[in-house]
Chain A
Amino acid sequence: MTLLTLLLLVGLAVAAVRVRDLLAATAILGAYSLMMAVLWCQMNALDVAFTEAAVGAGISTVLMLSALLRVGAKEGRRGSHILRHPLMTMQELATTMRRNEARRSAWGSALVCLLVGAALLYGTIDMPRVGDAESPANTHTKVAEHYITKSHDEVGPANIVTSVLGDYRGYDTMGETCVIFTAALCVLLLLRQTGTARRRDED
């Protein structure tokens, strides 16, 4: 079953890269996220699966769709109102660059991909098996053991993931919340037209 999910993942990833219609690519990426969620479920990581399904398959698909509304759904095609925002000029730049380099660097790219892929595969050889109780992460500092045995008395919630996120790693979660806020802030600063910019547009 896990193998089937993994094969589907690879298939979807290849399809997402191959397909020229960005709308279809977005839909495929959504399906990819959903398969990822299934995979997390199989690994008993329900919280991660939940997040993947809600964020990866849900919101980020919609966000990519709304980005497509801005830049046009065909790869390499110009949007109807380009040059309005910095993002659009970047897209245009990318398009031009892609056109110029089209076939020339295909073999170089393939080589780089293969080398990086081989290096990553080599790296996985040293990794412990999934759920290995003897892995360094479990034997060295004993944090996992501490969380599993003590969190109910020390923190309370039945869900250990919540105890770790909200209490043991409370600082980290606060930082993450601020990161989300910062993301929204950046989008606001880049895209919202207020005051002078809007007036200039109307002239």
Chain B
Amino acid sequence: MRTEKSPVIRYVALRAVPFIQLYALYVLGHGEDGPGGGFQGGVIFASSFVLMALVYGYGTGRKGAPEKITDILAPAGCVLYAGIGLICLLMGGAFLEYGRLAGEGASEAAKHSAHHFGLIGIEAGVMITVTASMITLFFEMARDAHVDHGQDDDDGEDDDA
């Protein structure tokens, strides 16, 4: 972005990123017992890339989450969610009836754990879509406006076209 950031900011930001991402995964996994879930986790995960972009420049931030990957992940989350519903359907249950993932006539305990995995699965789907979408939103909005110092070459020339 504008000028070289202070070394303190650069140091702290770089080391905060893994913790932010770990926290995002915790929020996802902990969603069943406390506040949180796929949506919040996804937003927090995406914010770690935004932080990288704000401190180290557009190119460095985008390198962590390349276009090709986020473009695939954004619909993939929706597909994962709907896919779990579809599998329940194929197993003979209703759409998104997670208990059916254990198979027909399964014990209560098996159904319970199948339910658990179904919920985690759809939450993960939500998180994947939200993460990829938020990253896309931010980087596409910031694309033309950014002025980088040489790390990013592919559209630096667009700015003064």
Tally of B interface residues using CB under 8 Å: 55
Contact of B126 with A156 in the complex, beta carbons under 8 Å: no
* Cα–Cα, bound, A191→B144 (Å): 9
Contacts of A70 in B (CB 8 A): 141, 144-145
A186 shortest CB reach to chain B, Å: 10
**What would 5 more interface pairs be, CB under 8 Å, given A51-B40, A158-B34, A159-B32?**
A58-B43, A156-B115, A161-B35, A177-B77, A181-B133
Residues of B within 8 A of A155 (CB): 115, 119
Contact residues of A: prevailing secondary structure = helix
- Whether A110 sits at the interface, judged by CB under 8 Å, is no
Given A81-B144, A177-B126, A183:B137 Cβ within 8 A: yes
Task: Please list 29 pairs of residues, one from A and one from B, whose beta carbons are closer than 8 Å in the complex, sorted by A's number.
Answer: A46-B34, A47-B36, A50-B27, A51-B39, A55-B43, A59-B46, A59-B134, A63-B137, A66-B141, A66-B142, A70-B144, A81-B159, A156-B32, A157-B31, A159-B34, A159-B35, A162-B119, A166-B119, A167-B96, A167-B98, A170-B85, A174-B82, A177-B78, A177-B125, A184-B132, A184-B133, A184-B137, A187-B136, A187-B137
Residues of A within 8 A of B43 (CB): 51, 54-55, 58-59
